[in-house]
Structure 1
Amino acid sequence: MENETVDMDILQLEGLKVSPQSAVPAFVLLLLIYIFIMVSNIGLVVLISMEKSLHQPMYLLFCNMSINDAFGATTIIPRLLSNVFIPITDRYIHYIDCAIQAFCAHFNGGTSHTVLMIMAFDRYVAICNPLRYATIMTNRMVAALSVVAWTVSFLLIAVSVGLSVRLSRCRRIVLNPFCDNPSLFKLSCENVLINHIYGLISAMGTMAVSLFSVALTYLRIAMVCLSSKNKALNSKALQTCTTHLAVYFIMLLSGFIIIILHRFPQLSDHRKLASVLFHVVPPSMNAIIYGLQIKAVRQKIMIIFKRNKMTVSVLK
């Protein structure tokens, strides 16, 4: 009996389904994407941290998103890379590691929504109440909103994963590229209705609240811009809001695709690919969108490149 208990703690993880011929290209592509995600997002955080002119609420909130993107990619991609050259039948993961990965994967997704909500609030205050912006969006307020965003997501996901961890297990195979909460409770032969209900309510509730708040915020911003004849204000609002909305819709579309594909069991392979792309596409796009669209950030990047170019030419 003790041996069986120990064996049940070692799970077989499906991972990426790639042929031996595709293993090397898949590994190289995924590795390059991971390097790009880490360099671009951490680079953006370092740039904002070092440049005092960027120590403004909007840019500090960008740091939340970049840190979360780097965290989410690190949760999923390294293990996918380590398993690419291992046969599917030999890909194992300890149950505790699987539970931690599931928590981190969902925590990353939930935090993306909550952080984007406070970024929408920041844009609302900046455009609709510009005279009070400095008094409302203080450093203390930014820190408080950031803590709330991460804490709310943490608590929601902790309960969701906790409901799955409490279950006994009768299966050892995780039919997914990585561990997530459904993978955990599908290992049990007990009644998992409460897991389904809570998971659906928390996931759809988070998406609904974020969609409603972002839509309401930008509807109000649009009304202000339409009623204003200040072209400079409208141009600035359009630039910053377009950036935020682009990031939001990329993430929202990625999430909806996974939810829709869950309803079609015959498309399980497509769902698995979509779940990996959710942790790859938005993190790789966000830093590009922020870095190239926001004028202040773009200017600082250009200055750094020019400095480096001058230094290289002097050394030569």
Structure 2
Amino acid sequence: MENQTFRGDILILERLKVTSESVIPAFILLLLVYIFIVVSNLGLVALIFRSQGLQQPMYLLLCNMSINDVLGATIIIPHVLRDLLISNSVRYIHYIDCAIQAFCVHLHASASHTVLMIMAFDRYVAICSPLRYATIMTNGMVVKLSVAAWAIAFVLVLILVGLSVRLSRCRWIIFNPFCDNASLFKLSCESVLINNIYGLTYTVVLLGSSIGSVTLTYLKIAAVCVQSRNKMLNSKALQTCTTHLAVYVILLVSGFIIVILHRFPQLSDHRKVASILGHVALPALNAIIYGLQIKEVRQRIMTLFHNNKVALMEVK
């Protein structure tokens, strides 16, 4: 297929290796997970905006994560579902669609880090400067932090993908179930030194600032908790920070697994599955972790279910 010639901007995407017996179960399971991701995350956003008691900086910042999770799942899962139905056919994609998908894939990954960084800052102010929290974390500050998180991710990814789009193409096969930046610049026979330099810089800046800021933030929070003998303060810190740290650790571990698997070409099939799971498992887990571990959100959800149950009983 490498020698096959295509005119225009038509590319070939590599298929997932799924047995014929597994196609239908995989399709149904993935569809159900996608529905859960969309309904749970958008439902969480709607719940926060509908409930006056939940319109606090912490929950408003959480909306960024929920929206980003829906974006990340929607970029990949519908394409994978389609591919499962046409698993025996050659998969084609227009170059412009491939570039857009690559941009969205990296935007989702980058925004995951920048959003978690501003959420860590919110927890730092709430625990380390509780008396100043209301004056620092105003609605205006929440908007500024949210815009900054998305704008930084947008600019970094725009440059990343833009450097790949500028290259001429001599190949037409994407050795991946979906498009990403590496897939784009591997289509070219030109020198990709600039792409590699910026890609490394982009990774170091994003991960370095993310890991550094979150680590520093929680070290300061831990220091405050150790110095304070206030059990209520320590309990609040543990409750609100455990959720954030769990999501952050899951994000880092999944990212490192994909990077490590890139180093072993013989494990390419495992890498493809891991990269897809990163856009499936993380959004689903985030909705569960934030929806069930945060006390106020959990109480609101239980109240809604109770009211619906009572309404149904009255109808009967």
**TMscore range, shorter length:** over 0.9
Task: Give the equivalent residue in structure 1 for 2:310.
Answer: 310
Superposition CA RMSD, Å: 1.3
More moved, 98-107 vs 9-18: 9-18
Equivalent AA in structure 2 for residue 142 of structure 1: V
Task: Give the equivalent residue in structure 2 for 1:122.
Answer: 122
Task: Give the equivalent residue in structure 1 for 2:62.
Answer: 62
The correspondence of residues 139-150 of structure 1 with structure 2, limited to 5 A, is: 139-150=139-150
Equivalent AA in structure 2 for residue 188 of structure 1: S
More moved, 135-144 vs 18-27: 18-27
Equivalent AA in structure 2 for residue 152 of structure 1: I
SS in 2 for 1:121: helix
Structure 1 unpaired stretches of 5+: none
1:200-234: CA deviations, max 9, x gaps?
A: 22123211210010000000000000111111111
More moved, 164-173 vs 83-92: 83-92
Distance in 2 separating the partners of 1:237 and 1:179: 40
Task: Give the equivalent residue in structure 2 for 1:13.
Answer: 13
Offset at residue 151 of structure 1 (A):
0.2
Offset at residue 268 of structure 1 (A):
1.2
SS in 2 for 1:258: helix
Task: Give the equivalent residue in structure 1 for 2:190.
Answer: 190
Distance in 2 separating the partners of 1:228 and 1:57: 24
Identity %: 67
The correspondence of residues 258-277 of structure 1 with structure 2, limited to 5 A, is: 258-277=258-277
Distance in 1 separating the partners of 2:231 and 2:59: 23
Task: Give the equivalent residue in structure 1 for 2:203.
Answer: 203
- TM-score computed with the length of structure 2 as normaliser: 0.97
SS in 2 for 1:187: coil
Distance in 1 separating the partners of 2:6 and 2:150: 35
8 Å contact kept, 1:48–1:55: yes
Task: Give the equivalent residue in structure 1 for 2:34.
Answer: 34
Equivalent AA in structure 2 for residue 301 of structure 1: I
Offset at residue 278 of structure 1 (A):
1.1
Offset at residue 195 of structure 1 (A):
1.0
Distance in 2 separating the partners of 1:204 and 1:79: 30
Task: Give the equivalent residue in structure 2 for 1:244.
Answer: 244
1:244-303: CA deviations, max 9, x gaps?
A: 000001111111111111111121111111111111111000011111111110111111
Equivalent AA in structure 2 for residue 163 of structure 1: L
Offset at residue 85 of structure 1 (A):
2.0
SS in 2 for 1:167: coil
Task: Give the equivalent residue in structure 2 for 1:232.
Answer: 232
Cα 1:190/1:88, change in 2 over 3 Å: farther
1:19-43: CA deviations, max 9, x gaps?
A: 2221111111111111111011011
Equivalent AA in structure 2 for residue 151 of structure 1: A
Task: Give the equivalent residue in structure 2 for 1:280.
Answer: 280
More moved, 120-129 vs 165-174: 165-174
Distance in 1 separating the partners of 2:14 and 2:204: 27
Equivalent AA in structure 1 for residue 308 of structure 2: N
Task: Give the equivalent residue in structure 1 for 2:218.
Answer: 218
SS in 2 for 1:84: helix
SS in 2 for 1:70: helix
Distance in 2 separating the partners of 1:88 and 1:171: 22
8 Å contact kept, 1:73–1:283: yes
